[in-house]
Amino acid sequence: MTARLHFADAGEAADLAAFLARLIHYDKAAAVRLQAAGDTLAVFGRPPSFEVLVIRTARLARPYEHGHDTTLDVTVSAGEFLELVGASTETEPGGNAEVAGVPAAVTGPPWAGVLPPRGGWRPEPGLPAPTAVRALVQGAVAEFRSRIEELPAERRVRAELDRVGREIWSRTIGDTHLPVRAAHAAQSLGFLRGTGLTLLSSGPWLRLRTDYGSVAVRRAGAGGLTVTPA
């Protein structure tokens, strides 16, 4: 019996396909971890340019069920999953979008084994308004490009780009410990839209939650950063 995902409507499938396409833009060999329980599918990815985890959820028309299994937890190729969501999505009677199958499992990258916790999240204060966060990201991108353009040609090497990027994207947002790179990732993946923007924490994790998806990152000390603006 092939595992099947029944989306609540065609819009859910289209939004998920757009997210997968953006993820593949940054890594053509990207893998995603799928977790489905009840009527919610969660898709986890890690665009290498940003060194954060991104999470996109989709509503299902019916609780996930595959034989005797009632949950799905598998790491698959993002490209193969996009093909199923985008090209092989059908419309069932009643208007429910359907994915005919789930791709075969792949050997997951290290990040896929260390996901943020499912519960225990609590609100964190100090996050500016959504418009201010978007302006901050735009200003950071402009600063990065300006500083790179000011470098002599012989200094425009990867190590110098990394140094400038690390300095800019490791800054924190407002009165929080959230690095600017998290908001930059949210912007680049289409999450930083609308007015819903919340910062949550659970243990060492920070999570920037929007109406369109979430970005999760470990608190300061989780490692360096290499970012080039999209």
Domain count along the chain: 2
Q: Does the residue 229 lie in any domain?
A: no
Q: Is residue 87 within 8 Å of residue 20, measured between CB atoms?
A: no
In angstroms, the CA 128 to CA 230 distance is: 23
**103 and 21 part of one domain:** yes
**163 and 80 part of one domain:** no
Residues of the chain with pLDDT under 70: 1, 87-100, 220-230
| Helix (H) or strand (E) segment spanning residue 5 | strand 5-6
209 DSSP 8-state letter: E
How many CA within 13 A on the CB side of residue 148? 22
Q: What is the CATH number of the domain that holds 53?
A: 3.10.150
Check residue 97 and give its pLDDT: 55
In angstroms, the CA 193 to CA 116 distance is: 23
Check residue 100 and give its pLDDT: 57
Cα angle 105-106-112, degrees, rounded to a multiple of 5? 100
Which residue reads 């260390």 in tokens? 114
**55 and 80 part of one domain:** yes
**136 and 90 part of one domain:** no
Check residue 226 and give its pLDDT: 36
First to last CA, the chain: 41
In angstroms, the CA 134 to CA 13 distance is: 26
The DSSP bridge partners found for residue 32 are 76
**95 and 57 part of one domain:** yes
Read off the pLDDT of residues 125-141 as tens digits, 9 standing for 90 and up.
999 999 999 999 999 99
Name every residue whose Cβ is closer than 8 Å to that of residue 225 and which is 6 or more positions away in sequence: 50, 51, 165, 166, 169, 170, 179, 181
Which residue reads 């930083």 in tokens? 192
Full-model pTM: 0.88
